[in-house]
Structure 1
Amino acid sequence: MPKRSSKDSSSSGSEKGRNRRRNKPARKKHGLGTLLLFWPFALWQKITSAFPFIIRLPARLIGHPAILSLYFLIPLSIFYYGRARQFDMAKVSEMPERSIVLDRRGEELGRIHGEKRDIITFSDIAPEFLSAILAREDERFFSHGGVDWIGFARATLRNIKDQSMTQGASTITMQLARNSYQLQAKPLSFSHMVQELDRKFLEIAVSYRIESNYAKEEILTHYVNRIFWGHSIRGIEEASRTYFEKRAKDLTLSESALLAGIVRGPNAFSPFKDIENSRFERDSTLQRMVDAKVLSQEEADAAMAESIDVRPEWRRVFHDSWAMDAVRRELERILEEENIEFGGLQITTTIDNLVQKKAEEALDQHLRKFERGGGYQHQTRAQWLALPEPRPAPQYIQGSVVVIENLTGAIVATVGGRDADESKFNRASQAKRQIGSTFKPFVYLAAFDHGLRPDTMLSDDPLRRGEVKGAGGWSPSNSDGKFLGMQPASVGLIRSRNTMSVRVGAFAGIDYVKEIATSVGFERELSSDPTAFLGTLDASPEELASAYTVFPNRGVRFPPRLIAEIRNRDGGVEYRNPLISYEAVKPGSAWTTSRILHQVMESGTGASVKRLGFNKPCAGKTGTTNDYRDAWFVGYTSSLTCAVWVGLDQPKKTIDRGYGSTLSLPVWAEVMKTADRLGYKADGLDSKLSFQDCRICRVSGKRATPACESAGEAYSDSIPIDLVPAETDICLQHVEDVSEKSGNRPPKAVPVGELPPTEQAPKAIPADEEVPRAIPVEEDIPRAIPVE
């Protein structure tokens, strides 16, 4: 076979090479999208190509999956960051808390609305507690940026191994995020695990936002203010007060460890429920503090040896109060619902808690004594308390006390019953009961406006048919069953004479008495029936007390006010109650009536007040309704007006001779004695008014004429200037006797409340006690002396 030349051989090889290149598949060209998508892998491949094989291989085994994970993490982060941006970071520091209610002295009355929480600052928290909560919940809190990835990885591996989601690895920041916002999973999540992962990723994103908006101390403070500690308790301050009756900054190491320990199961580990479980949680927290090197073993052992002293059981029950009940009702009237529910307000009231407590105590003590006395045939409070739970509504005798400051209308005390825990019906403001004879002063005031004078003679005899318009044959009797004949008008009020009071009302006119009743603040319209003159009007103790303030105030009324001021959590004023007043009645008539009411306490139905120990200047009126169903006393000093009611919730007879002077006046005296000692001075009831001396006819109450002088019915009176009769307003009931020169005396005139025309009008029967004439005074009503 002929040899192939080298040239041929070379030519043949070149040909084969060309054939191989021609037969080899062509390389696929990569597009721009591919390069953009996979350049991180290529870059890492190029970087690691220079590494030795022993390093290059693991670097690529770790690096490529890590790069691959970024393809998921980056869009995932963008997605959850976008969702996290929807949350207002200011909400982290905003949390519902209780509104604090203060009395006029700044003493705390209680807390209402919001959540059972008291927000405090970082400096108000014991350092021992901060160390304990960090050791227990987030040891690396100050070193991570919101998420503890070491703890997160450990919890994730544990969950994968256990096929559960029990290990959360939540940091304090993550817990704060969860507690501050409603972090709900997307509705497209199709399994519980995916839902939990979705919520956890959102929680992480929100946590990073919190860390970027708040300092670490702020985050920790907001966290401990939000924590739930069982029994509706939220926040470290409230937990400290509830469990240990001290402020959070005063917690000991042992107490701090216990509170930090029970956070993970506050109801289950509550020291109120299981002291041994609480002890175990405290000790385990102390040991974790040792492990975290924030506590020595000796210090931990000493704290473990301490006893656990929590609030005793008898002080754990929240007791309601009538003052707080009144505040709640008033807030519903003046605040928006959002402000009420969110709380955090500082509410300053007009209540004086010292007077309030005395009023509550005096009412219950007096009625307990009354229940033990003879003749009481109803349920007693002791009998009701002895009934098994659940008890029915109490049927024992109840009462109410309202104290109002005359010159401001401020409610100083309000008691709606004997115990606010046993009955939620507030009789001070909600109960409308017949006010009986306590209404009579307003009837007399109306008559004084029309010219009646305290010394004008009136008949106390039985009413005659047709004598009083609308009365028909009705003729009321007096409480003593007697009729005193002709008496000065003042006696009718001092001795609470029914027949005289009806005649006084008829003199004023029912329409005008209605007008006066509305002007002094009674809410319900007065009946047009003559019985209204004797107090058939229904009113609350608060209404009655407020109405009576026109007497010491010379006719001026300040509507009752309970809330003085409301401030928000930043200290700004949300509400301020302005001082409003108006002239409800004529000053002269108010003063004239007040002088008579002073005599009620000297010689009338309230005279026993001195025997009860109250000797300061005062005025007032008793009231008792038919069959002794309601017993009232309303009285005042220069500083305060107080109304007391006693009766049964279902109107029925309390006891034979259950008068206001017996059931209500003793309570009034105790309250006013305390108020006087506290600075609400009873300095006198005289007013600075202008007076004018006049000669007045005792029969008609008008300017006396020579005929009145001749008849012996003229007298001198010093009259408030606004009540002085006009020069032309002269008596027409006496006429000059043309036969005077012959020595014959003129006939007696027929007075107001005249006897039958056929009978001669008798002279006045003298009262047991002298009724003083009006004397002008120079002193003004002093205000209550402020108490520091």
Structure 2
Amino acid sequence: MPVIQKLNPFIWFRKYFWKLLFVSTVIFIAYMVYLDAVIAHQFSGNKWQVPAQIYARPLTLSLKEEITSKEIIEELELLGYRRVSKAAATGEYQYANNRFVVYRRAFHFADGFQAQTALSVVIKSGRVAQITNLNSNTSVKSFRLEPWLITRLVSAGREDRMLVSLGQVPPALLEALIIVEDNDFYQHHGIAPLSILRALFANIAAGRAVQGGSTLTQQLVKNMYLTNEKSISRKAKEALMSILIDARYSKDQILEAYLNEVFLGQNGENGVHGFGLASYFYFDRPLDELNLLEITTLVGMIKGPSYYNPRRYPDRLTERRNLVLRLMFEDGKIDKPTFESLLDRPVLVASGASLRKNKHPAFMDKVQRELRNVLANPDIRDSGVKVFTSLDSNAQRKAEKVVTERLLKLEGARKINKLQAAMVISDIDSGEIRAIVGDRNTNYSGFNRALDAKRSIGSLVKPAIYISALERPQEYNLATPLLDKPIELPDDAGSLWKPQNADKKFRGQVPLYTALTQSLNVPTVTLGMEIGIDNIATTLGRLGIDEPISRYPALTLGALDLSPLQVNQMYQTIANNGLQIKLHAVNGILSVDNEVIWSFAEAPTRQFDEKVTYLMNYALHKVTLEGTAKRIKQHFPSVNMAGKTGTTDDYRDSWFAGFDKNILATSWIGKDDNQSTGLTGASGALNLFIDYQKLQEPKSLVRRFPKGLGIAHFDSETGHATQPGCQSSMSLPAILETLPKRPEKCGTKNPKVEERKSFWEKLFG
């Protein structure tokens, strides 16, 4: 048998030591190169997906602008400005005797950077009387506050953060962070064995964990690259990567990355990462405006954001915060009086509502639809872009309030249920949408009735008919008599259609403006047939309706299905004196580097002569004085407004579109199953408009006379121009060049209006 020699391990190790060392070294170097590549790929590039930041419109104040002190205070409170007795720091304001002093924050708008500035604003008689830049002690014509952050469109990764640079971080925060988490940060090279031993002894002496052994660099590595697995291999990898990061990047770069990466809480499904976002989440203000108590609160939470959650465990957090204060005192960063005065102060945090998800879902639905059109690439949307919208946050909250409360009142008073509603509020001049409500549950993010519910608009179609007539000033003016007698017309099914007025009465004839203000159906149908259905459909297109339109006689009474948004577009053209601008919710988009990516640039187009729309607006104003919406005047006796009610067959849909000087509001009430509500436009949707305006500060509608327009006098029976002072005359605005140069004398007899046959009578006899 052969002799088997036993191999001595020591001899084997000596024999292969250098080879093993060489192979191990190569493997180690290769592994380090690999780790370095992993680090460089993320750390040197785009470290994080940053949500798109969605901003509301900024409040701009200009000399002589109509605005109340209450409206300004609402905006400042929304933006998290602190009201103090004497403002002295950014983010503070004072108010007394109709004078504001505001230390406005810096902000980068789509049109450039705005520096922080101290301003004085004086309000007199509901207008801006004076604006002074207190830094230069000079008068200025206008200024704007930074916009309110509505929400952040968080990606599928569920991480949310608001990036900050070291220059935006209060020095006290950096001091507290380093003292508590890594006192040797500027001395070690990524890992600090002595710190681990010191933390161990400190924790033993305290009987609990008061210090951590990991450096800030190690914590950064664990958060950015590794899992929370507790193993030797994971810890070794963490140490190696920490050394590499420390060798490759400066301490300031590492510290800035840590400030933006650290986990500081949970906002629903989304993690709150970084001090920039945490400052808003817990205190509703920028990081550079935090005081020492707020700073030490955030630093204290690093050890365990859930355990030290200030909203759930304030006592735990107070104890932890006081520890941070003590460490700062012992390190000489704060003096003893400051330390002792702060120990007993309670932890005061905001509700967190400012960063709540799904705020104003109906409006955000419109924003996201527009973003998909202008930013098709989702990677761009996740790159920290700033999206500037037209949302008026105060208007939005008030619209949501009135929808919720009014539907409950209507259901209770009329014993009906399952009502639904929608509202769209826009700025008349700019076409910017200020608010959208798409459901009675204003937090519901499903079916958006304001955008997608196409319902018959009823009498809201009538201005399209009357404006078509007024565009023929040789034939029609506000005084033109219209027949109000029974008529029969074939409908689209071949049957006879017999339109009726709402009160089932006939008046023989009425002036054109009365037919509109009283929303009389029969004169409207008669006028519509004289104008022609094709012409009415064309007018609707010019008003902004891009839907296919069925051209039947029933169109004259609103046999047309539109959404509240489409109705709002239609009335925007009328309210804006014939100038049409596309309704929109997004005004501009900036990249993370504050470069303009996109901006709304569509110019308004003139669709109707200003003289014609003035006459239409005069008639719509009359609707609110003596017509179907006269309750507006009862509630607002000193404010001029205009509008139109709409009611559909069997009271299925209740509509109102109305406007003051600045805003246009469209409201709808109905049922999803299309059953009767028992509500007219006046008894239903008009209430939403009135309720909303009661919460606002409505501005009186003022329209200048266009050139060529003036007050004329008309015989109330014939509609012919007469001399002033006639007993039966009425005074109305009219296009003067179309009137006879010599008006008729009082009492002149003329052929009666009945002798003029309509288009339909001429055609069928």
Fold-level similarity (TM above 0.5): yes
Q: Is contact 1:618–1:635 with CA below 8 Å preserved after alignment?
A: yes
Give 1:546's match in structure 2, choosing from 551, 569, 574: 569
Q: Which amino acid aligns with 2:458?
A: G
Task: Confirm or deny that 1:487 pairs with 2:492.
Answer: no
Q: Counterparts of 1:214 and 1:563 in 2: how far apart (Å)?
A: 39
Q: Counterparts of 2:751 and 2:430 in 1: how far apart (Å)?
A: 54
**How much does 1:720 deviate?**
4.2
Q: Counterparts of 1:520 and 1:236 in 2: how far apart (Å)?
A: 49
Partner in structure 2 of residue 462 of structure 1: 486
Partner in structure 2 of residue 113 of structure 1: 153
Q: Which amino acid aligns with 1:353?
A: S
**How much does 1:479 deviate?**
0.6
Partner in structure 2 of residue 176 of structure 1: 220
What SS is found at the alignment partner of 1:463? coil
**How much does 1:474 deviate?**
1.2
Q: Counterparts of 1:428 and 1:652 in 2: how far apart (Å)?
A: 19
Superposed CA deviations along residues 240-298 of structure 1, whole A, max 9, x for unmatched, are 44345565456666665554454354334434445565567557767877898978999
In structure 2, relative to structure 1, the CA distance for the partners of 1:257 and 1:74 (3 Å cut) is farther
CA RMSD of the aligned region, Å? Answer: 4.8
Q: Which runs of 5+ in 1 are unaligned?
A: 1-40, 42-63, 156-167, 186-191, 379-394, 705-713, 727-743, 762-788
Q: Counterparts of 2:752 and 2:367 in 1: how far apart (Å)?
A: 64
**How much does 1:419 deviate?**
4.2
Give 1:146's match in structure 2, choosing from 190, 193, 198: 190
Q: Counterparts of 1:274 and 1:183 in 2: how far apart (Å)?
A: 27
What SS is found at the alignment partner of 1:85? helix
Q: Counterparts of 1:448 and 1:634 in 2: how far apart (Å)?
A: 20
Q: Is contact 1:609–1:666 with CA below 8 Å preserved after alignment?
A: no
Give 2:277's match in structure 1, choosing from 238, 247, 256: 238
TM-score by length of 2: 0.69
Q: Counterparts of 1:755 and 1:218 in 2: how far apart (Å)?
A: 81
Task: Confirm or deny that 1:85 pairs with 2:41.
Answer: no
Q: Counterparts of 2:345 and 2:714 in 1: how far apart (Å)?
A: 87
Partner in structure 2 of residue 161 of structure 1: none
What SS is found at the alignment partner of 1:527? coil
Partner in structure 1 of residue 623 of structure 2: 600
Q: Is contact 1:225–1:234 with CA below 8 Å preserved after alignment?
A: yes
Q: Which amino acid aligns with 1:659?
A: T
Superposed CA deviations along residues 531-576 of structure 1, whole A, max 9, x for unmatched, are 2211121212222122112223332211112222222232222221
Partner in structure 2 of residue 527 of structure 1: 550
Q: Counterparts of 2:370 and 2:389 in 1: how far apart (Å)?
A: 11
Q: Is contact 1:119–1:225 with CA below 8 Å preserved after alignment?
A: yes
Partner in structure 2 of residue 334 of structure 1: 374
Superposed CA deviations along residues 477-513 of structure 1, whole A, max 9, x for unmatched, are 1111101123333332222121222222222222222
After the TM superposition, which of the residue ranges 600-609 and 289-298 deviates more from structure 2?
289-298
Give 2:442's match in structure 1, choosing from 404, 420, 423: 420
Give 1:573's match in structure 2, choosing from 591, 596, 608: 596
Q: Is contact 2:458–2:646 with CA below 8 Å preserved after alignment?
A: yes
Q: Counterparts of 2:634 and 2:412 in 1: how far apart (Å)?
A: 21
In structure 2, relative to structure 1, the CA distance for the partners of 1:139 and 1:418 (3 Å cut) is same
Q: Counterparts of 2:449 and 2:411 in 1: how far apart (Å)?
A: 20
Q: Counterparts of 1:754 and 1:294 in 2: how far apart (Å)?
A: 90
Aligned residue pairs, count: 626
After the TM superposition, which of the residue ranges 276-285 and 141-150 deviates more from structure 2?
276-285
Partner in structure 1 of residue 53 of structure 2: 99
**How much does 1:472 deviate?**
3.5
1:158-169, aligned counterparts within 5 Å? none
Task: Confirm or deny that 1:431 pairs with 2:453.
Answer: yes
1:307-326, aligned counterparts within 5 Å? 307-311=346-350, 320-321=359-360, 322-326=362-366
Query: When you count strand as a share of all residues, which structure comes out higher?
Result: 2
Q: Is contact 2:529–2:759 with CA below 8 Å preserved after alignment?
A: no
Q: Counterparts of 1:746 and 1:277 in 2: how far apart (Å)?
A: 92
Q: Is contact 2:56–2:392 with CA below 8 Å preserved after alignment?
A: no
What SS is found at the alignment partner of 2:496? coil
TM-score by length of 1: 0.67
**How much does 1:95 deviate?**
4.8
Q: Counterparts of 1:325 and 1:71 in 2: how far apart (Å)?
A: 60
Task: Confirm or deny that 1:356 pairs with 2:396.
Answer: yes
Q: Counterparts of 1:169 and 1:67 in 2: how far apart (Å)?
A: 37
Q: Percent identity?
A: 26
Q: Counterparts of 1:399 and 1:144 in 2: how far apart (Å)?
A: 63
In structure 2, relative to structure 1, the CA distance for the partners of 1:595 and 1:278 (3 Å cut) is closer
**How much does 1:142 deviate?**
1.0
In structure 2, relative to structure 1, the CA distance for the partners of 1:580 and 1:182 (3 Å cut) is farther
Q: Is contact 1:107–1:353 with CA below 8 Å preserved after alignment?
A: no
Q: Is contact 1:98–1:116 with CA below 8 Å preserved after alignment?
A: no
Superposed CA deviations along residues 454-489 of structure 1, whole A, max 9, x for unmatched, are 4443321121355x8976311021111101123333
Q: Counterparts of 1:471 and 1:491 in 2: how far apart (Å)?
A: 31
In structure 2, relative to structure 1, the CA distance for the partners of 1:222 and 1:550 (3 Å cut) is same
What SS is found at the alignment partner of 1:176? helix
Q: Counterparts of 1:243 and 1:488 in 2: how far apart (Å)?
A: 63
What SS is found at the alignment partner of 1:593? helix
After the TM superposition, which of the residue ranges 116-125 and 528-537 deviates more from structure 2?
116-125
1:236-385, aligned counterparts within 5 Å? 236-243=275-282, 248-249=287-288, 256=295, 259-274=298-313, 278=317, 307-311=346-350, 320-321=359-360, 322-338=362-378, 341-342=381-382, 344-373=384-413, 375-378=414-417
Q: Is contact 1:623–1:660 with CA below 8 Å preserved after alignment?
A: yes
Q: Counterparts of 2:706 and 2:606 in 1: how far apart (Å)?
A: 16
Give 1:76's match in structure 2, choosing from 12, 21, 28: 28
In structure 2, relative to structure 1, the CA distance for the partners of 1:613 and 1:588 (3 Å cut) is closer
What SS is found at the alignment partner of 2:468? helix
Give 1:751's match in structure 2, choosing from 753, 756, 760: 756
Superposed CA deviations along residues 206-261 of structure 1, whole A, max 9, x for unmatched, are 54554355431332122022111231211123334434556545666666555445
Q: Which amino acid aligns with 2:514?
A: V
Partner in structure 2 of residue 633 of structure 1: 656
Q: Counterparts of 1:747 and 1:94 in 2: how far apart (Å)?
A: 79
Q: Counterparts of 1:104 and 1:256 in 2: how far apart (Å)?
A: 28
Partner in structure 1 of residue 258 of structure 2: 223
Q: Which amino acid aligns with 1:685?
A: R
Give 1:690's match in structure 2, choosing from 688, 708, 718: 708
Superposed CA deviations along residues 353-400 of structure 1, whole A, max 9, x for unmatched, are 333344334444444443443x2332xxxxxxxxxxxxxxxx3x3333
Give 1:497's match in structure 2, choosing from 516, 520, 526: 520
What SS is found at the alignment partner of 1:641? strand
**How much does 1:92 deviate?**
6.5
Q: Is contact 1:644–1:664 with CA below 8 Å preserved after alignment?
A: yes
Q: Counterparts of 2:347 and 2:353 in 1: how far apart (Å)?
A: 17
